A and B are shown apart, each in its own frame.
Chain A
Amino acid sequence: MPAIAFRQVVKTYAASSQPVRALDGVSFDIAQGEFFGLLGPNGAGKTTLISILAGLARATSGTVSVLGHDVVTDFAAARRALGIVPQELVFDPFFSVREALRIQSGYFGVHRNDAWIDELLDHLGLADKADANMRQLSGGMKRRVLVAQALVHRPPVIVLDEPTAGVDVELRQTLWQFVSRLNREGHTVLLTTHYLEEAEALCGRIAMLKQGRVVALDRTSALLAGTASTMLSFKLDRPLPPVLAAHARVTGRIVQITAHDAREVESILAVLHGAGCEPEDLEIGRADLEDVFIEIMRGETPQRVAA
Chain B
Amino acid sequence: MTPVASAADAAPAKSHGIFAGTRTLLYKEVLRFWKVSFQTVAAPVLTAILYLLIFGHVLEGRVTVFDSIGYTSFLIPGLVMMSVLQNAFANSSSSLIQSKITGNLVFLLVAPLSHWAWFAAYVGASVVRGVAVGTGVLLVTAWFAPLHVANPLWIAVFTLAGAALMGALGLIAGLWAEKFDQIAAFQNFVIMPMTFLSGVFYSVQSLPPVWREVSHLNPFFYMIDGFRHGFFGTSDVSPWISLAVVGTSLAMVCAICLHLLRIGYKIRH
Chain A contact residues, CB within 8 Å of chain B: 13, 51, 54-58, 75-80, 82, 84, 86, 88, 90-95, 99, 103-116, 118-119, 122-123, 149, 181-182, 185
Query: Which residues of A are found within 8 Å of B107, using beta-carbon distances?
Result: 90, 92, 103-104, 107, 149
Chain B contact residues, CB within 8 Å of chain A: 1-2, 4, 6-7, 9-16, 20-21, 23-25, 27-28, 31-32, 35-36, 99, 102-104, 106-114, 264, 268-269
Q: Are A80 and B28 in contact (CB under 8 A)?
A: no
Q: Distance (Å) between the CB of B155 and the closest chain A CB? A: 31
Query: Which residues of A are found within 8 Å of B31, using beta-carbon distances?
Result: 94-95, 99
- Which residue of A is nearest B34, CB measured? A94
Query: Which residues of A are found within 8 Å of B268, using beta-carbon distances?
Result: 55-58
- Which residue of B is nearest A79, CB measured? B112
Q: Are A109 and B16 in contact (CB under 8 A)?
A: yes
Q: Are B21 and A107 in contact (CB under 8 A)?
A: yes
* In the complex with contacts A57-B268, A94-B32, A116-B12, A104-B7 CB distance below 8 A: no
What are 6 A-to-B residue pairs whose CB atoms are below 8 Å?
A92-B107, A94-B36, A106-B24, A107-B21, A108-B112, A119-B6
* 10 further interface pairs, Cβ-Cβ under 8 Å (given A51-B269, A90-B102): A55-B109, A55-B268, A56-B110, A79-B112, A88-B103, A90-B104, A90-B106, A90-B107, A106-B21, A116-B10
Most chain A CB atoms below 10 A, which of B1, B12, B110: B110
A-B pairs, top 4 by smallest CB distance, nearest first, are: A106-B24, A107-B111, A115-B10, A76-B112
A108 to B15, CA, bound (A): 8
Most chain B CB atoms below 10 A, which of A58, A80, A106, A182: A106
Query: Which residues of A are found within 8 Å of B111, using beta-carbon distances?
Result: 79, 104, 107-108
Query: Which residues of A are found within 8 Å of B114, using beta-carbon distances?
Result: 76
Query: Which residues of A are found within 8 Å of B112, using beta-carbon distances?
Result: 75-80, 107-109
